[in-house]
Amino acid sequence: MQFNPNWEKGKFPTDDVHIGPSDHVPWLEDRKWAYIRLEGTSWGDQPLNVELKLEVEDSPNSAGVAIDAIRSAKIALDKGVSGAIEPASAYFMKSPPIQMRDDDARRAVQDFADGNISGADAG
């Protein structure tokens, strides 16, 4: 795959891209590792490879998501909404009742926060 700075948003070729979760690894405890490898060519068609390891403590990374989920629950409570809040579940949770693409889920959460209560039971 060759880099092209003129690729349009959403038009990036994905044939050579792979992202996959791993299973739970007990000995990592509260750490999460990500390995990123980029392969390409530089001037003169010379191979260029970059490898990166990202290691983070996992639980603090979840704090922002938890706070936003709590905010969504408060919005639902204030609006008299009960049951699963599908937009928030789709955006913040790993196994929501209805799966959505991230960009669609983000829009749905914003719509919900703005007053559109579709995807939840009012009452």
Q: Residue ranges of the domains in the chain? A: 59-122
pTM for this structure? Answer: 0.60
Contact yes or no for 54/33 (Cβ under 8 A): yes
3-class DSSP assignment, residue 122: strand
pLDDT of 96 reads 93
DSSP 7: P
Which segments in the chain show pLDDT lower than 70?
1-13, 21, 118-123
Cα–Cα distance between 40 and 36 in angstroms, integer? 13
Residue 81 pairs in a beta bridge with: 122
How does pLDDT run across 73-98, given as a tens digit for each residue?
999 999 998 899 999 999 999 889 99
